[in-house]
C-alpha cells in the first residue's frame, strides 16, 4: 500500500454497506467473530511473537505471551461470557407523571469503528479494542503501526484469513496513510499513542464530527509512601518499568520517594535487576529499543540530563550497544524539572528518582503537573492511601503494584486531561462503541391529552398537581 492509498474511503464504504444490511447483529454473529479472533490468536501465537521480536530487534516471547497474548485472550473470553447480557435492552424508570408509559435503553452498534494502533504493544492494542467493538456489534477498520512492519503485515494477512472483508479491514501504510485514516468519517475512532499526535488525530476527526477515544500517555508517577513495604515497592516498580524495556504507556515514569531512602532504592534496584536479567548483555529476556530513532532519543535524554547535573546509576554491568539497540536499565538522581527526562514521557529504561520530605510535598508535585495515564502508590496506611487518591487525578491507579489495573475487565481503561479522553475494556468498552438509545413507549391509556391545548382550568389543575408532586 502506498502512502496515499486511494482505497481507504472505498474500504470504509464496504464496511458501511455491510452494516446497513445487518445493523443489529445477533449474539450468534458477534460470538462467532469473537471466536474467530480467539482461534487466530491461538493458532498464530508463535508467528506473531516472532514477528514482533524481529521488529524490535529482540523482544522475548515470554513478554509477548504475558503482556499481549494472555490479556487479549482473557478479554475475548470475558466478552463471550458477558456480551449477551450487555446487548439486552434494559428497563429504565419512568417519571411518576408519565406512568404507565415504559422506558427502555436499547444498546445499538455505532456502525464502523476505526482503531489506530501504536508500535509498543501492536498485538494487544489492536485486539482489545477490536474485541470491544465486535462484541458491541460493529464493523472494524484498523490502522497498524508502520514501525512494526513485519508484525503489521502478518496481522493483516491473518485477519484476512479468519474474517470476511465486510467484518474487519486492516490498513497498513506510513504517516500519510495514518493521517488520511484519522480523517475518515468513522462512527467512532480510537487512537493510542502520544499526546502530541493525539491532538492531530482529534483535530482531523473533528472535521467529520467523529467521536474519539484517545489513549495517550504522560509522566506516570510511582509514589513510595512513608509506610510502604519498601523492598516490595522497588521490586514491583522495577517490573513495571523494565518489561518491554520501558516502552509501555503506563510504565512508571518517575519515582517519588522519601529523601533518606534514595541510596537504598538504588541498591535494591541494582540487586533486583540483576535477578531479573542476569548477564543482561547476553540475555534473551530483555527487549531492545524498537528503532534507531527511539534509541537515539533515549540516549540524548539521558546524556542531556547528565550534562545538566543529574547522576546516572546503571543497574547492570552491560554497556550500551547501539548496533543491537540495547539500552540497559538506569536510574537518574539529582534531576530537576528543567531537564528533558522530567518534561517528556520517557518511554524507555530510564527512571528518574525525585525525593520528597513529606507526603504532602509528593502529592503537591503530582497535582502541579498534567494528569498522568497511571499512578502507582505504595503504602499500607489506609487513611494515607485515601488521601492520595482523593487529591490526585490519573487515568487509572494500582495500589501496591504496577501495570495490573489495565488487566481488570471490570475497570475501564483510559486517560484524563493530557493523558487521554474516554475509556474502554469490558462492559465499559461495549458502552463506548454502542449507543444506548433511549426509547419511551407511551401506554394506550394515558393522560397526555390533559396537557394539550386549549389550556383551560383542567390544564391548570393538572400542572399544579405535577408541580407539587414532581
Q: What is the pLDDT of residue 466?
A: 85
CA distance 254 to 201: 27
Q: Out of 63, 167, 249, 379, which one is annotated catalytic?
A: 249
- C-alpha 257: how far from its chain's center? 27
pLDDT, tens digit, for every residue of 108-142? 999 999 999 999 999 999 999 999 999 999 999 99
Mean pLDDT, contiguous 10-residue spans, the chain (470 residues) = 64 96 97 98 98 97 96 98 97 88 96 98 98 98 97 98 97 95 97 93 95 95 98 98 97 98 98 95 95 97 97 96 97 97 96 98 98 98 98 98 96 95 96 96 88 90 83
Q: What is the pLDDT of residue 5?
A: 52
- Angle value at C-alpha 415, between 414 and 419, nearest 5 degrees: 145
Q: Which candidate, 207, 209, 141, 153, places its Cα nearest to that of 178? A: 141
Q: Out of 38, 167, 215, 427, which one is annotated catalytic?
A: 215
Q: What is the pLDDT of residue 420?
A: 95
Q: What is the pLDDT of residue 405?
A: 96
CA distance 140 to 386: 40
CA distance 344 to 301: 9
What cell numbers appear for 4 in the block?
496515499
Q: What is the pLDDT of residue 468?
A: 84
254-258 vs 350-356, strand pairing mode: parallel
**Following DSSP, what letter does each residue of 27-39 receive, concatenated?**
HHHHHHHHHHHHH
**Following DSSP, what letter does each residue of 64-104 receive, concatenated?**
HIIIIIHHHHHHHHHHHHHHHHHTS-EEE---GGGTT-EEE
215 is catalytic: yes
Q: All domains of the chain, ordered by start, with CATH? A: 8-216+421-435 (3.40.605.10), 221-414 (3.40.309.10)
Q: What is the pLDDT of residue 370?
A: 96
pLDDT, tens digit, for every residue of 63-94? 999 999 999 999 999 999 999 999 999 999 99
Amino acid at each position: 500500500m502506498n502512502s496515499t492509498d486511494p482505497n481507504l474511503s472505498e474500504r470504509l464504504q464496504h464496511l458501511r454497506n455491510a452494516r446497513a444490511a445487518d445493523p443489529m447483529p445477533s449474539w450468534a454473529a458477534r460470538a462467532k467473530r469473537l471466536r474467530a479472533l480467539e482461534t487466530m490468536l491461538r493458532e498464530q501465537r508463535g508467528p506473531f511473537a516472532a514477528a514482533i521480536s524481529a521488529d524490535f530487534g529482540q523482544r522475548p516471547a515470554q513478554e509477548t505471551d504475558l503482556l499481549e497474548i494472555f490479556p487479549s485472550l482473557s478479554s475475548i473470553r470475558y466478552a463471550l461470557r458477558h456480551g449477551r447480557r450487555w446487548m439486552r435492552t434494559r428497563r429504565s424508570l419512568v417519571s411518576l407523571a408519565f406512568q404507565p408509559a415504559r422506558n427502555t435503553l436499547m444498546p445499538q452498534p455505532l456502525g464502523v469503528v476505526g482503531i489506530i494502533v501504536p508500535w509498543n504493544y501492536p498485538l494487544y492494542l489492536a485486539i482489545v479494542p477490536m474485541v470491544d467493538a465486535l462484541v458491541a456489534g460493529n464493523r472494524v477498520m484498523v490502522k497498524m503501526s508502520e514501525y512494526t512492519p513485519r508484525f503489521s503485515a502478518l496481522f493483516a494477512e491473518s485477519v484476512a484469513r479468519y474474517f470476511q472483508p465486510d467484518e474487519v479491514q486492516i490498513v497498513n501504510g506510513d504517516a500519510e496513510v495514518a493521517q488520511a485514516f484519522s480523517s475518515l468519517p468513522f462512527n467512532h475512532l480510537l487512537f493510542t499513542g502520544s499526546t502530541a499526535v493525539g491532538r492531530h488525530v482529534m483535530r482531523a476527526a473533528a472535521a467529520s464530527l467523529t467521536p474519539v477515544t484517545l489513549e495517550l500517555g504522560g509522566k506516570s508517577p510511582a509514589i513510595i509512601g512513608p509506610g510502604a513495604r519498601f523492598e516490595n515497592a522497588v521490586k514491583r516498580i522495577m517490573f513495571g518499568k523494565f518489561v518491554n524495556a520501558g516502552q509501555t504507556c503506563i510504565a512508571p515514569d518517575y519515582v517519588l520517594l522519601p529523601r533518606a531512602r534514595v541510596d537504598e532504592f538504588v541498591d535494591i534496584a541494582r540487586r533486583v535487576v540483576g535477578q531479573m536479567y542476569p548477564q543482561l548483555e547476553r540475555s534473551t529476556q530483555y527487549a531492545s529499543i524498537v528503532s534507531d530513532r527511539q534509541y537515539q532519543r533515549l540516549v540524548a535524554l539521558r546524556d542531556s540530563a547528565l550534562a545538566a547535573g543529574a547522576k546516572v546509576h546503571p543497574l547492570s554491568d552491560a554497556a550500551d550497544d547501539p548496533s543491537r539497540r540495547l539500552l540497559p536499565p538506569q536510574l537518574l538522581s539529582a534531576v530537576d524539572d528543567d531537564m528533558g527526562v522530567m518534561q517528556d514521557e520517557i518511554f524507555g529504561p530510564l527512571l528518574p528518582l525525585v525525593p520528597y520530605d513529606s507526603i504532602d510535598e509528593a502529592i503537591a508535585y503530582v497535582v502541579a503537573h498534567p494528569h498522568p495515564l497511571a499512578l502507582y502508590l505504595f503504602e499500607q496506611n489506609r487513611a494515607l492511601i485515601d488521601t492520595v487518591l482523593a487529591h490526585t487525578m490519573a487515568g487509572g491507579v494500582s495500589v501496591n503494584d504496577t501495570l495490573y489495573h489495565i488487566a481488570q475487565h471490570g475497570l475501564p481503561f483510559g486517560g484524563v486531561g493530557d493523558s487521554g479522553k474516554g475509556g474502554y475494556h469490558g462492559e465499559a468498552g461495549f458502552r463506548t462503541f454502542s449507543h444506548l438509545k433511549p426509547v419511551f413507549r407511551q401506554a394506550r391509556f394515558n393522560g397526555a391529552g390533559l396537557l394539550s391545548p386549549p389550556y383551560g382550568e383542567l390544564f391548570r389543575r393538572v400542572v399544579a398537581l405535577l408541580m407539587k408532586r414532581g
